Structure 1
Amino acid sequence: MMQILEPLHNVAKISAKLAKLNLLCYWDLALHIPLRYEDLTKVYSIAEVKLGQQVMVQGKIIGHEIVHRKTKQLLVRIDDGSSIITLLFFHFFPSYATQYAIGKQIRAHGEIKNDYMGNKTIVHPKIQTVNEEVKLSNTFSPIYPTTNGLANSAIISLVDQLFDANFISETLPQSILDKYELLGLEQALLTLHKLTPQQFANNYQKQALRRLKFDELIAQQLLMQKIYASKHHNPAPAIKTTNQYLVPLLSKLPFELTKAQNRVMREILQDMSQAQQMNRLLQGDVGSGKTIVATISALTAIENQFQAVIMAPTEILAEQHYSKISKLLEPFSIKVVWLAGSLTPKQKKQATQACVDGSAQLIIGTHAVFQKNVEFANLGLVVIDEQHRFGVEQRLALVNKGNKNQYPHQLMMSATPIPRSLAMSYYADLDVSSIDELPPGRTPIKTLLINNNRRNEVLKFVREHANLGHQSYWVCPLIEESEKLELENAINTYNELCTALAPIKVGLVHGKMKPKDKAEIMADFVSGWTQVLVATTVIEVGVDVPNASIMVIEHSERMGLAQLHQLRGRVGRGDIESQCILLYENKLSEIAKQRLKVISTTTDGFEIARQDLLIRGPGELLGQRQSGLPALRFANLEEDLDILHAAREIAKLLVETYPIKAKQLVELWFHNKQIYSGI
């Protein structure tokens, strides 16, 4: 089987070109599926061909001439007895008179068009000279993805070598092929590379593609199960709650945990009680109450004399966690330490010293937490908020700060819900907990789509609500002028709003401000002193101002669904009816129309994530995670969910019953991927 992973033979002259297409071995070639096919299996009569058809015709050359229109053109006329067609060439050799000699029989393949006189013509057809040796092909001619300087015929020749060499062995047991009605692997690949007209008529290539989707998803499941097993093999402290802090905290909360919060708490505490490292992803919609779950998890570690870390991607969000959680834990005399880039050298030294000597029980901060000079006395739990904002390397850097013999438990949180198909595939190395209900009493948010030419009406609406004591966000995606995107400059908008809304107090916060200035502006808004806050998207994650009831988003057509949903979630946190106003420009692209339709018709984060996957595909949703995991080539996660379910079961069966086949499948599909070598 593994002969198919051998480097391609006798390709020295074109090896650099093949490498550009990632064609290094025969298996790469097997998966290099044609983009499309040309039908050179049948000759059509000139009289019956229709406009727009891609066909082959055959006839005797009855004339040729050069005409001078805008450019020099060669016209060749052929007759097959039923009618005459003109072949038009813009590029031709001086020897055309010999090449297209009158009386010669030729075949021409291309798209049927009409010339300016309404006569049938083919522009730059592919030409074959007809003789006894040139027979019609039995299969369609594949057109492969290629690169400059590499002829399609060279790839066809290599594919012929592959099938002649009998390198392709079956990867799945017969029982699985029978159960799921799958083609054999060689048959599937042969169909896709050498499709016959009869197979095409019966849509046989769809079955062939289905087989590759199965293999691809089974291999991915096997890989993820392997990663899962290696991660969950890491030793970690068995942490069981003593209820020293947990029971008193729950009793003093001004609200009851939802059923979903209680369920995920049980899942997390069960994981932490094991002597293997927890690797759990906690996902929940905007405002579903993930922070209190993280706090309870941290308290469980602290009850057992371990340190806990909560890390967030932005200083605004990290600081909000710090102030909120510190307040909650005040009665318990727990030492909570703040660690971020904005600290003075002296403050930083004190904070890192508290981490090392163990006096810091809970450490809350930003990227500063995993820097080299930060060490911990006894780290038991790491909570990473908005985990998709951090690279795999950054997360590992923090997790590796545990004791050498033990890893800290790891809880990752995301307010961007992950569709089930992604959770089952790219996140299959993690256990996933979902908070799928919002706390009671949250007011529903109305989403309004408004054309930017009605901007003055929106300003009037914001003014009226400010006079009632309500607060508003006004979000601009960019802070610097960009001619290309024509986006509103946040500073210009701030000046515009200051003038239009005077004497109402307007603030401005953007990503290029110093952390100290940003914190002051945010504090003014939280206290209610500032009534309208103009902001770039720095406020999209985690900011909590219950009195803010209006969210205006400029150029909403330029933003992704997840980002729009996150921003909308900043309002509706109190008992005031809230509105999210999406301003958009004319001339919307199809994707922008789709996004705005989805965001204005649902507030369900899980449905929005599913639609986002359909619109964008998994690449962008996965972000940094994608960098470690190869993209799927054949399967589409949402469309092929049934295959994904089957692949999970088949992967488990292969590991238990056919371990050699399981190993071969992973080697085949991931042989040249770095992630495979690391397991």
Structure 2
Amino acid sequence: MAKLGLRTDMDLVLHLPMRYEDETQVITIRDACLRGGQSSQVEGIVTKSEIGFKPRRQLLVHIADETGDLQLRFMNFYGSQVKQLAEGTRVRARGELKHGFFGAEMVHPNYKVINEGAPLPTSLTPVYPAGEGLSQTMLRRAINDAMKRVDWRDTLPAPLVARMQLTDFEPAVKLLHYPPQEVDEHALLDRSHPAWTRMKFDELLAQQLSLKRAQRARRSKGSPPLSVVGDLSRAFQRALPFHLTGAQQRVLDEIRADICQPYPMQRLLQGDVGAGKTVVAALAAAQAIDSGYQAALMAPTEILADQHFRKIAAWMEPLGVKVAWLTGSLKKKDKAAATAMVESGEARLVIGTHAIIQDTVQFANLGMVIVDEQHRFGVGQRLTLRNKGNEDAIPHQLMMSATPIPRTLAMTYYADLEVSVIDELPPGRSPIVTRAIDQNRRDEVIERVHAAALEGRQVYWVCPLIEESEALQLQTATDTHALLAEALPDLSVGLVHGRLKPAEKQAIMDAFTANEMQVLVATTVIEVGVDVPNASLMVIEHAERFGLSQLHQLRGRVGRGSAASVCLLLYQSPLGGVAKQRLMTMRETTDGFEIARRDLEIRGPGEFLGSRQSGQAMLRFADLEADAWLVDQARDVASALLRDARHTETVEAHLERWLGGREEFLKV
């Protein structure tokens, strides 16, 4: 029960059914046989019960009523069941009836041993989410007992419930656990019933209250005001070989206004692949340095961190700013030297991977934290970096994501963040044409790669795995490299993957960047941050195996120069429904926000949030697409309740009921 988060009586009461079984009717065995393939409930006397051994050990129980007979077959059974299902016993069995080799049968049906004339249930039977070793009977009993003990008082004020035309809390919960016979079963199953609406609203309201309260708590803490836009910021902007786009300038102004405040900024910077987030982040870091503080930039992979380091150090170091480089693969001596620079304050900007958050790294005066691809880090990792500031001052935090967050997701899971969007690409970027091609046409694709290389263009060829896996018969990076090197003897073909040593990886990336290598075969290590304007053709092997946001990220590695760019999605047919949807989306649009919206429809919120680390952060009942209208209402009600001091007890009671002690994870 603890694994399911069921620690209190209210946890049990709010453990709502995922579906229902109709045990309110019994039909004859003959009628069940005629219906075949459907779930039915029958009743009969056991005429024979035996343990068979062919083709494996199994319990075979024959039951009969006045219209016919039926076999119940159990592959897994206990000795007590053999005694329970002895000849002459009356049994009520429910399951899918199939016509097998030995006639009509139900395999592993739900059953009850009953007396003649035993009454039928008057309501649908709930089926609950359960864990290993936790039976439905046990859960039903525990929930039933808990319902006798809980405090049923409504946590929402009666005028609010009436104004929003919500069902009262107690009748809504009881209806979902014990739905009467006359209830609209379809509305129960698709969760459109008013009782479900009340549960969804309460859940969304708890989440909004928690996030907005976290935002208030954050604003009550001190942060160093970084209000100086000084010599470094001005010299940096003058030295850039391009002008900021209107969107970049607008977002920079928003960040600058935030970091002047004496409380911590918590801003999410969204921008499609190639929109120019890095330069905005670097200008924000320059303002922190101008104001006398250090800044830190953390990226999820060494390739991405290195890309940031090379780009930003090339901008900053000529202006006299010392930039430290910190990753797990540094030699002990180099790591000690970099750590000492950070601790002494000599390094004004620190760039690296999660090595930055190790205990050994202490900052002199950290004023600003920048987290790139923030959803790739755990909640705990982001929190550790934020806690690297001085005890009395929390650093300002800028999170960046090239995976745009759909509006409904931003309003729920990021309700306590300010969100900035760079919604235009720098001028001169070429549009990317996307095509889906069957693996059988690989030879044509290789010819196309050859032609592009002869025109002076460079090519990425991305594979999902490094070495052969029997479970997934995928073309691997090593095989593909060998195949392309043989098919294209006049070209230089490189291979980069996550298991190469950092120095080897960097040497290959440098050769590709310098156009000494025409084709780069890679695993998804090149997903983010790699910037080679001359690369204009991307081939993605087994594209059906990738998620939408990953395909979009990979495609964003081309189209960075002025040449027309193409992305070819090689797929293995036949395609499943979800894979078809993904490839169709990639062909139809290059708009990251539209792709993110469709990705949310296909997969739910998990990947956007990095929810693998957010534990119970996921909504259990509300669906962000179907219930977007409720998100708006919950947000407005949460703001109103928090504004009015008279509702302090209401807020506390509602959060205690829905989140218990689990509020912490929402605060990061």
Task: Please report the TM-score for the alignment, with normalisation by the length of structure 1.
Answer: 0.87
**CA offsets 1:336-374 (integer angstroms, 9 cap, x no match):** 333344545554444333333333233333333333333
Post-superposition offset of 1:460: 0.7
Say which is worse superposed, 661-670 or 154-163, in terms of deviation.
Answer: 154-163
Give the whole-Å Cα distance in 1 for the aligned partners of 2:28 and 2:87: 25
Q: 1:461 to 1:357 in 2, by over 3 A?
A: same
Could you tell me how far apart the structure 2 residues matched to 1:120 and 1:494 are?
54
Q: Hey, what does 1:268 align to over in structure 2?
A: 255
Give the aligned partner of residue 178 of structure 1: 162
Corresponding position of 1:662? 651
Cα distance in 1 for partners of 2:142, 2:108 equals 30
How far is the alpha carbon of 1:408 from its aligned partner? 2.0
Equivalent position to 1:375, from 332, 348, 362: 362
Match of 1:214 in 2: 201
List per-residue Cα deviations over 1:645-665 (Å, max 9, x = no partner).
Answer: 111112222222422121112
Q: Which amino acid aligns with 2:121?
A: S
What corresponds to 1:7 in structure 2? none
Contact 2:84 2:113 in 1 (8 A): no
Q: What amino acid does structure 2 have at the position aligned with 1:527?
A: A
Q: For 1:536, which of 512, 515, 523 is the aligned residue?
A: 523
Q: In structure 2, do the counterparts of structure 1 residues 665 and 457 end up closer, same or farther at CA, with 3 Å as the change threshold?
A: same
Alpha-carbon offset, residue 423 of structure 1: 1.6
Q: Is the 8 A contact 2:327 2:356 kept in 1?
A: yes
Aligned to 1:592: 579
Separation in structure 2 between the aligned mates of residue 501 and residue 26 of structure 1, nearest angstrom: 68
Going from structure 1 to structure 2, the CA distance change for 1:465 and 1:224 (only over 3 Å counts) comes to: same
Change (3 A) 1:513 1:188: same
Q: How many residues are treated as equivalent by the alignment?
A: 650
Match of 1:293 in 2: 280
Are 2:604 and 1:617 equivalent residues in the alignment?
A: yes
Instruction: Tell me if structure 1 keeps the 8 A contact 2:497–2:525.
Output: yes
Shift of 1:595: 1.7
In structure 2, how many angstroms separate the alpha carbons of the residues matched to 1:629 and 1:343? 36
CA drift at 1:249: 3.7
Counterparts of 1:159-170 in structure 2 under 5 Å? Answer: 159-165=143-149, 167-170=151-154
Further displaced range: 180-189 or 358-367: 358-367
For residues 292 and 250 of structure 1, the distance between their equivalents in structure 2, rounded to whole angstroms, comes to 9
Please, which of 474, 477, 487 is the counterpart of residue 474 of structure 2? Answer: 487
Q: Deviations over 1:602-642 (max 9, x none)?
A: 11111111222222222233226743553221111222111
> Distance in 2 between the 1:354 and 1:166 partners?
58
Q: What residue is the counterpart of 1:10 in the other structure?
A: none
Provide the rounded CA distance (Å) in 1 between the counterparts of 2:393 and 2:17: 50
> 1:115–1:121: 8 Å Cα contact kept in structure 2?
no
1:658 counterpart SS class = helix
State the shift of 1:307 in Å: 2.1
- How big is each residue's C-alpha offset from its partner over 1:39-94, in whole Å with a ceiling of 9 and x where there is no partner? 343455788776155455679x7x95789999995544433xxxx24343346659
Do the aligned partners of residues 351 and 112 (structure 1) sit closer, same or farther apart at CA in structure 2, a change above 3 Å counting? closer
CA distance in 2, matches of 1:367, 1:123: 50
Q: Distance in 1 between matches of 2:254 and 2:60?
A: 75
Is residue 366 of structure 1 aligned with residue 353 of structure 2? yes
Q: Which moved more, 1:502-511 or 1:241-250?
A: 241-250
* 8 A Cα contact 2:73 2:105, kept in partner: no
1:467 and 1:354 map into 2 onto residues whose CA distance is 47
Q: Secondary structure at the match of 1:401?
A: coil
Structure 1 residues 351 and 672, CA gap change in structure 2 (3 angstroms): closer
Distance apart, 1:375 and its partner CA: 2.9
- Matched with 2:6 is 23
The residue number in structure 1 matching 2:72 is 89
- Work out whether residues 363 and 389 of structure 2, in 8 Å CA contact, stay in contact via their aligned partners in 1: yes
2: CA distance between counterparts of 1:299 and 1:231? 24
Instruction: Classify 1:163/1:451 alpha carbon distance in 2 versus 1 (closer, same or farther; 3 Å).
Output: same
Residues 303 and 47 of structure 1, relative CA distance in 2, 3 Å threshold: same
**Match for 1:404 among 381, 391, 399?**
391
The question of 1:433 aligning with 2:423 is answered no
Q: Note closer, same or farther for the CA distance 1:257–1:139 as it changes in structure 2 (3 Å cut).
A: same
CA distance 1:35–1:392, change in 2 (3 Å) = closer
Residue number in structure 2 paired with 1:351: 338
Q: 1:139 aligns with which of 120, 123, 140?
A: 123
Q: Match of 1:200, as an amino acid?
A: D
Shift, 1:529, TM fit: 0.9
The one-letter amino acid of 2:349's match is L
The one-letter code sitting in structure 2 at the alignment partner of 1:306 is: Y
The structural deviation recorded for 1:326 is 3.0
Report which stretch shifted further, 36-45 or 312-321: 36-45
Confirm whether residue 200 of structure 1 aligns to residue 187 of structure 2: no
Distance 1:258 1:608 in 2: 23
Partner of 1:11 in structure 2? none
Equivalent position of 2:308 in the other structure: 321
Question: Quick check: 2:49–2:86 contact (8 Å CA) kept in 1?
Answer: no
Name the SS for the 1:639 alignment partner: coil
Aligned to 2:544: 557
| Cα offsets for 1:231-250 (capped at 9, x unmatched) | 33331111124343334443
TM-score calculated relative to the size of structure 2: 0.88
Q: Counterpart of 1:198 in 2: which secondary structure?
A: coil
> Could you tell me how far 1:413 is from its partner in structure 2?
1.0
SS at 2:397 equivalent: strand
Judge conservation of contact 1:342–1:516 (CA < 8 Å) in 2.
no
Q: Which amino acid aligns with 2:664?
A: I
Query: 1:141 is aligned with what amino acid?
Result: T
8 Å CA contact 1:426, 1:629 repeated in 2: no
Map of 2:79 onto structure 1: none
Q: Structure 1 residues 76 and 372 mapped into 2: Cα distance closer, same or farther (>3 Å)?
A: closer
Unmatched segments (≥5 aa) in structure 1: 1-17, 101-105
Tell me, in whole angstroms, the C-alpha distance in 2 between the residues paired with 1:354 and 1:324: 20
Report if aligned partners of 2:435, 2:567 keep a CA contact under 8 Å in 1. yes
Percent identical: 47
Aligned equivalents of 1:447, 1:552: Cα separation in 2: 10
**Following TM superposition, by how much is the alpha carbon of 1:19 offset from its aligned partner in structure 2, in angstroms?**
4.1
1 CA distance for matches of 2:636 and 2:268? 22
Give, as a single letter, the amino acid of the residue that structure 2 aligns with 1:526.
T
| Distance in 1 (alpha carbons) for counterparts of 2:320 and 2:600 | 45
Most deviating of 161-170 and 386-395: 161-170
CA offsets per residue over residues 94-143 of structure 1, 9 Å max, x none?
9855336xxxxx866555666889999999574675656x3343322333
Tell me the CA shift for residue 565 of structure 1.
Answer: 0.8
In structure 1, what is the equivalent of residue 174 of structure 2? Answer: 190
Structure 2 equivalent of residue 98 of structure 1:
88
Larger Rg: 1
- Cα deviation for residue 215 of structure 1 reads 1.0
Q: Secondary structure at the match of 1:382?
A: strand
Structure 2 residue corresponding to 1:33, chosen from 16, 26, 32:
16
Where 2:461 maps in the other structure, the secondary structure is strand
Aligned-partner residue type, residue 515 of structure 2: G
* CA distance 1:358–1:186, change in 2 (3 Å): same
The offset of 1:667, in angstroms, is 1.3
- 1:538-597: per-residue Cα shift (whole Å, max 9, x none)? 111111100000111111111111111111100000000011111111233322222222
Pairwise CA distance, 1:274 = 0.3
Q: Which runs of 5+ in 2 are unaligned?
A: 75-81
Bigger Cα displacement from structure 2, 40-49 vs 222-231: 40-49
Report deviation, 1:188: 0.9
Query: Do residues 575 (structure 1) and 567 (structure 2) align?
Result: no
Report the Cα distance in structure 2 between the residues aligned to 1:241 and 1:589, rounded to whole angstroms.
Answer: 55
Residue identity in the other structure for 2:17: P
The 5 A counterparts of 1:455-466 are: 455-466=442-453
Q: Cα distance 1:121–1:420, how it changes in 2: closer, same or farther (>3 A)?
A: closer
